[in-house]
């Protein structure tokens, strides 16, 4: 009974967020710096430039996604339970926003085993639509640095964890400027519902800005 009450409260909260969307602005994550003695503009944290190979063996850089809203997660193909669940939620989001110009980026935390061919296998096994969904592999050092310093997500080898890796199950929402606008637990339905509300709000903000 208590779980049902909690769930009801959660849905009421999401309805409230949707209803108040026009008056609500998404936060911008990370440190910020105000430019002194000039325009007074604020410099916000942005994701650092990166370059990795995708599931087709193509070398892709962050430049390709400039000016595009993106959803980002970190995963690995040998992950027994959590990663397929998060991928399923991303598949749902891809269908929900199929008419929007949104990129989905999945970076492996196990690049030593996750070759280009292995990423292609994962995409096929879980029926991922790679029209706007890219899976990336590359240097472990560079991927971990990107995850921790740019996306504020933890990733590490851990023999005690399922599959041998301990990593975040968050889905990160990036705006067109490469700024983080939210993190949402991809294992929690209510969190994903909140992401849907926030993503619509972000899309609307760009449409209103012209």
d(CA 26, CA 174): 11
**Which residues contact residue 3 at a Cβ distance below 8 angstroms, ignoring those fewer than 6 apart?**
none
pLDDT at 11: 47
CATH of domain 2-209: 3.40.30.10
d(CA 118, CA 124): 10
**Which residues contact residue 86 at a Cβ distance below 8 angstroms, ignoring those fewer than 6 apart?**
73, 75, 169, 171, 186, 187
pLDDT band of 170, cuts 50, 70, 90: very high
How is residue 42 written in tokens? 């604020």
Three-class SS state of 173: strand
Tell whether the model's pLDDT for residue 159 goes beyond 70: no
- Decide: residue 47, CB within 10 A, 0-12 exposed, 13-18 middle, 19+ buried: buried
Find the mean pLDDT for residues 58-82: 96
pLDDT at 53: 98
Q: Whole-model pTM?
A: 0.86
Q: Where are the domains of the chain?
A: 2-209
Q: Where are the beta strands (DSSP E) in 24-127?
A: 32-34, 42-44, 51-53, 59-61, 69-75, 102-108
C-beta neighbour count of 33 within 10 angstroms: 10
pLDDT band of 14, cuts 50, 70, 90: low
d(CA 150, CA 2): 38
């Amino acid at each position: 009974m208590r779980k049902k009450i909690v769930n009801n409260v959660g849905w009421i909260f999401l309805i409230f967020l949707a209803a108040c969307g026009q008056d609500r602005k998404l936060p911008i994550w990370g440190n910020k710096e105000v430019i002194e003695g000039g325009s007074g503009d604020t410099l916000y944290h942005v994701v650092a430039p990166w370059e990795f190979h995708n599931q087709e063996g193509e070398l892709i850089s962050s430049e390709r996604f400039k000016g595009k809203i993106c959803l980002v997660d970190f995963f690995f193909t040998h992950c027994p339970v959590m990663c397929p669940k998060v991928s399923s939620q991303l598949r749902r989001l891809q269908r929900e926003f199929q008419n929007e110009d949104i990129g989905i980026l999945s970076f492996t935390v196990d690049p030593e085993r996750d070759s280009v061919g292995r990423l292609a296998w994962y995409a096929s096994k879980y029926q991922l639509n790679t029209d706007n969904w890219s899976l990336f592999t590359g240097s472990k050092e560079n991927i971990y640095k990107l995850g921790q310093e740019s996306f504020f997500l933890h990733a590490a080898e851990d023999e005690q964890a399922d599959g041998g890796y301990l990593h975040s199950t968050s889905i990160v929402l990036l705006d067109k400027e490469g700024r983080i606008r939210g993190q949402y637990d991809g294992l929690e339905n209510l969190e994903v519902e909140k992401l849907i509300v926030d993503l619509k709000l972000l899309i609307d903000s760009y449409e209103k800005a012209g």
